[in-house]
Structure 1
Amino acid sequence: MSGRLARQSSSSENSGPIIDERKRKRMVSNRDSARRSRMRKQQHLDEIVNQVDHLKNENEQTEMQINTHMNHYLKLESENTILRTQIIELTDRLQSMNSVLRFVEEFSGVSMDIPEIPDPLLKPWQLPCPAQPMVASANLFQW
Structure 2
Amino acid sequence: MSSAQPLTSSGSEGDPHYAVTDERKRKRMISNRESARRSRQRKQQHLDDLLGQVTQLQNQNSEIGQRAEAILQHYNQIESENQVLRARMLELNDRLGSLNTLIAFMEDTGDLSMNSPEISDPLLKPWQFPCPSQPIMASADMGPFF
TM-score range, shorter chain: 0.5 to 0.7
Runs of 4+ deviating beyond 3 Å: none
CA RMSD of aligned residues (A): 2.6
Offset at residue 84 of structure 1 (A): 0.6
Q: Percent identity?
A: 44
Structure 2: distance between partners of 1:55 and 1:108: 76
Structure 2: distance between partners of 1:40 and 1:17: 34
Q: TM-score, normalised by structure 2?
A: 0.63
Q: 1:109 to 1:92 in 2, by over 3 A?
A: closer
Greater CA radius of gyration, 1 or 2?
Answer: 2
Aligned residue type for 1:20 = D
Offset at residue 107 of structure 1 (A): 4.0
Choose which of 38, 41, 44 in structure 2 pairs with 1:42.
Answer: 44
The answer for unaligned runs of 5 or more in structure 1 is 1-8, 113-131, 136-143
Residue 69 of structure 1 aligns to a residue whose secondary structure is helix
Count, aligned residues: 106
Offset at residue 101 of structure 1 (A): 2.3
Residue 110 of structure 1 aligns to a residue whose secondary structure is helix
Residue 133 in structure 1 maps to residue 144 in structure 2: yes
Q: TM-score, normalised by structure 1?
A: 0.64
Determine which structure has the larger helix proportion and give its number. Answer: 1
* Structure 1 segment 75-94 matched on structure 2, within 5 A: 75-94=77-96
Higher mean displacement: 78-87 or 61-70: 61-70
Greater RCO (CA < 8 Å, at least 6 residues apart): 1
